[in-house]
A and B are shown apart, each in its own frame.
Chain A
Amino acid sequence: MGPQYAKAVVDGVLTGGVYALMAAGLTLIFGVMDIINIAQGIMVILGAYLSYVLSVHLGLDLFATLVLTVPALFVVGVTVEWVFMRRLADRERTAMSILVTYAVAIIIEGILTQVFGVSFIQLHASYVNSSVHVLGFYLPYIYLYGFALAIVLLGGLYAILYLTRFGQSLRAALQDRRAAELIGIDVERVRTITFGIGIAVTAAGGMVFGATNSFNPNSGYDLISRLLTIVILGGLGSIGGALLAALFMLVLEDVVAVAWSPVWSTLVFFAALVIVLTFRPQGLFGRAAARAQ
């Protein structure tokens, strides 16, 4: 493998970690609530803007901003669920959620445009443009930190799902809502908290995205199609699947960009989804498997 290809693989793995951070909440929300959150892209951008405000006006380090932005987006998520999502009837929840979350995305985009305008901005810190030299490659600190953050947060989500009483309630609600209610689980509360968590982790993805890309209030639309591709490939509802799918897609895309052409890399990104779904319609870690874990 030539150095360029090796570098493309490394770039893909590191960038994939960032995408996994952004996609984890999306797959969690769908897995638990049958809600396809089209607003996930704008939530990423909202997280980036919150980190921007805190770093510029309070002088906080980008990673320190997460102490405030993660709870803030949790509140946003809980509010959106309480105001909009819980009013959707069960039988039409999935289809209607697309329309409702799209409306939420438009509302948030409009607010961000009013407050910040449409100019592109980017998050800055001393480590954003610097890198460490390892085995002949320059590895950007921001991607290394972002990847580590992805592992920690996704591990935390796993711990919540499988090591806590709340996680048990959540999985019980997943398997059979009525049975869960009969044994005393407050399913509505579980759903609300899950939606909040799904949006809260997006704050971390938004911060890393904002440090590696220029963004404005419209940037969420570029993201959502890729995030949906990742969670569908990984298997709706599977956090581990989202991580592996993000790594797979970004490595594939980056290697194709270097070996063949960047023009085809985007097509390959989506073609991979079609090919995988042809042979495995439930994705790499399909929903049934994810719920049975």
Chain B
Amino acid sequence: MEQAGIRTVYTKVFPAENPDLTPIASAVASTKADVVMLGSVDVPTVSSFIQAFAQQHYNPEAFVATAGPDQGADFLKAVRGNAEGVMVPNGWYYGYANAQSKAMVKAYVKTYGGRPADINADVAEGYAVGQVARLAVTATHGFDQKKIIDYLHSGATLQTVQGPVKFDSLGENTAAKAFTFQWQNGKPVQILPPNDPNSKRPEYPKRQWK
């Protein structure tokens, strides 16, 4: 990003389990940076930063968190009206244009209620793992670990609710879709990649915290 002309004014690594994030968030707020990119792993981390930013009257023009905003209703419950404009990179959201994903969303809402936009991305991730396991067991006609591993590393492309899955020799999914979403009017909206027909215009600058 610095090669693209973005100047870093503050960067610090913090442990995920640190329960008191106020001093770090206050230090970030004091920089008055235009954009905050938070390497978060869960909802509490993101909500702590958002709360501290609101308390410090600091409103970055864009706020991106690596995890937390992808947790659907859990994220909304924690931050309430301050979800608006928050961005998160991820591989799935409830509106993903994939037939299997649409069927899963429909079945999930039927079973558990709520809105499609409330569905946690972990649901799709967990479901996709089950799909991959099922496809591998079906293809190898059994539970032989070596055969399953060889099959998954054979270059076979598997279809899941997260889209195509194709593992390289290291186990990385080379066919994974990468999106960025932004909460707009109470729903996560796809804003990246820019050339994707399902991507919408990002809200920038984001609205002020409530």
Contacts and interface: CB of A to CB of B under 8 A. Distances in A.
Nearest to A219: B44
Interface stretch (B14-22, B141-149, B151-159, B195-203): B14-22
B32 interface: no
Contacts of A122: 47, 51, 77-79
A223 B17 CA distance: 11
A261 B44 contact: no
A120 B24 contact: no
Q: Decide if the interface of chain A is mainly helix, strand, loop or mixed.
A: helix
B18 A4 contact: no
Contact of A215 (B12, B17, B44, B51): B44
A62 to B, nearest CB: 14
A119 B74 contact: yes
Interface residues of A, number: 37
Nearest to B42: A120
A212 interface: yes
Given A214-B48, A265-B18, A257 B13 contact: no
Interface stretch (A74-82, A126-134, A278-286): A126-134
A71 interface: no
A213 interface: yes
Q: Decide if the interface of chain B is mainly helix, strand, loop or mixed.
A: helix
Interface string A214-229: 1100010011001000
A167 interface: no
B137 interface: no
Interface string A13-38: 00100000000000000000000000
B209 interface: yes
Contact of B43 (A4, A8, A120): A120
A266 interface: yes
B209 A4 contact: no
B56 interface: yes
A8 B24 CA distance: 9
Given A255-B23, A262-B21, 14 more contacts: A3-B30, A8-B23, A8-B26, A120-B42, A122-B79, A130-B55, A131-B56, A214-B44, A222-B19, A223-B19, A226-B19, A254-B23, A262-B14, A262-B18
Interface of B: 12-15, 17-24, 26-27, 30, 42-44, 47-48, 51, 54-57, 71, 73-74, 77-80, 82, 209-210
